Amino acid sequence: MLTVITYSIIDPPVAICSGDSALIYGAYRNAAGTYYDSLITTAGRDSVHSTALIVNPIYSNTTPDETICDGDSVMIFGTCQKTDGTYYDSSITANGCDSITTTTLIVNLTYNITDPTVSICSGDSALIYGAFRAIAGIYYNSLTTIDGCDSVHSTILIVDSVYSISDPEVSICDGDTALIYVAYRTAAGTYYNSLTTVAGCDSVHSTVLTIKPTYSISDPAIAICSGYSTLIYGTYRTTAGTYYDSLTKVDGCDSIHLTVLSINPNPSKPTIIQNGNTLSSTTANSCSAISASLSVTISSIREYESIYGLKIYPNPNTGEFNIVMNITQAENLELKIVSNLGQVLFKEKLRRFKGIYEKQLDLNKYPVGIYNLLLINKKGVINKQIIIIEQLAE
């Protein structure tokens, strides 16, 4: 009888993790089970080897998602994370296989929203995020999104200036007008004009209007005799009436002077009576009239001599005559020739004068009549009459 001896050898089991493989009897195996290998011994007998392949499981665990807001962070598997994505953590089981835990990090957005700029005028206010604001600056309002994150709104408040501008003062003369802010003004006071700047705010201009007085001055009335003239405001006048002269004050306004000129009538022609060497006639209202011609034979004329030896020659005359005097001691003197109405026809002042004074005068432009020569010194007045007559026709 033939007896066949075979060998059945159980090799140690092999353990792998799911997903791995093991080289068993010349082939890579990844499925759990018993694997065999038949060999021949040196004696030609079968030698069957067997081994068990154990496939240990690996674990993949998913934990709940983590949610944060942009800018925040969260601890995931021992590390602070702030970027959205899937994170893994690998550990080893008792069998030496992986145990993988995963989690997803969701990063929700936060919002920084710049709202339109708000502009107001100085002194006004604007309702910004539930509150009235009057100061220029940046204002914020923090809201919460449906994900629980911040939504920050911001806006800029601009406060535009308002202006109060004092324009130069305006001065006018009483009775005039001034164009102030598109209207003619005549009353003194402060006037205003409200304009709008390019930013839409007020620009208030103001100016003060001053009224300077004008003057109407009535000078003393003047009376002259018919046929005479008088100097009124730089012009010789012969006609009765009211005359005006407009002057300008230092402030540029008018000062109106006026005077009334009246003409006194001359009396009827007088009769000249000769009584020896004396001629006489009558006058009225300080006026004179020329009488009819009277032939008079003059043998000689003796001039009156004062203490100054004052002489007027010829006298009577036709308007041309000489004045001569001898001043023996230096003194201040004044010479005047005036009409019966007080009109000054000639005036000269002598300062510390000493010596012979001689002056030739021509009063032809004045009417015939009697005029007074006044010599004035510190002691008084010496008066001599000058008689101007018509020149007789040859």
Provide DSSP, 288-324: -----------S-------TT--EEESSSBSSEEEEE
**pLDDT (tens place) for every residue of the chain, 394 residues total:** 555 567 888 989 999 998 889 999 899 999 989 999 888 877 778 889 899 999 999 888 898 999 999 888 999 989 999 999 999 988 888 888 888 899 999 999 988 999 999 999 999 999 999 999 999 999 999 999 898 898 899 999 999 999 999 999 999 999 899 999 999 999 999 999 999 989 889 889 999 999 999 888 999 999 888 877 889 988 988 899 999 998 888 888 988 999 999 998 876 665 555 555 455 454 555 565 555 555 555 444 444 345 688 899 999 999 999 999 999 999 999 999 998 878 899 999 999 999 999 999 999 888 888 899 999 988 888 889 999 988 766 5
Are 151 and 170 contained in the same domain? no
**Adjacent-strand bridge partners of 163:** 203
DSSP annotation of 287: B
The confidence score (pLDDT) of residue 60 equals 84
Are 72 and 47 contained in the same domain? no
Place of tokens 């992986």: 98
Of 291, 322, 340, the domain-final residue: 291
Question: Token pair of 116, please?
Answer: 């339109």
Distances (CA, A) of 289 to 213, 267, 286, 293: 47, 6, 10, 12
Given phi > 0 = left and psi -120 to 50 = alpha, else beta, which region is 368? beta
Which residue in 235, 281, 278, 277 sits closest to 259, CA to CA? 235
The confidence score (pLDDT) of residue 380 equals 82
Which residue in 280, 271, 285 sits closest to 225, CA to CA? 285
Burial of 133 (0-12, 13-18, 19+ CB in 10 A): middle
Question: Token pair of 265, please?
Answer: 């009538």
The confidence score (pLDDT) of residue 325 equals 92
Residue 2 lies in a domain: no
Q: What is the pLDDT of residues 166-179, one digit of tens each?
A: 999 999 999 899 99
Residue 73 lies in a domain: yes
**Adjacent-strand bridge partners of 47:** 7, 39
Q: Which domain holds residue 264?
A: 222-291
Please enumerate in sequence order all residues whose Cβ is within 8 A of that of 23, keeping only pairs 6 or more positions apart, or say none: 29
Q: What is the pLDDT of residues 214-244, one digit of tens each?
A: 888 999 999 888 877 889 988 988 899 999 9
- Kindly report the pTM of this predicted structure: 0.43
**Residues across the chain:** 394
Of 138, 160, 182, the domain-final residue: 160
Helix runs in the chain, H state only: none
Residue 68 lies in a domain: yes
Residue 193 lies in a domain: yes
DSSP annotation of 72: -
Half-sphere exposure of 248 (CA within 13 A, CB side): 3
Are 311 and 374 contained in the same domain? yes
The confidence score (pLDDT) of residue 346 equals 93
CB atoms within 10 A of CB 337: 20
Are 70 and 28 contained in the same domain? no
Burial of 379 (0-12, 13-18, 19+ CB in 10 A): exposed
Residue 349 lies in a domain: yes
The residue ranges of DSSP E strands in 93-226, in sequence order, are: 98-108, 111-114, 118-121, 126-128, 131-133, 137-144, 150-160, 163-166, 170-173, 178-180, 183-185, 189-196, 202-212, 215-218, 222-225
Of 121, 145, 160, the domain-final residue: 160
The confidence score (pLDDT) of residue 160 equals 93
Are 134 and 149 contained in the same domain? yes
Task: Give me the number of domains the chain comprises.
Answer: 6
Residue 342 lies in a domain: yes
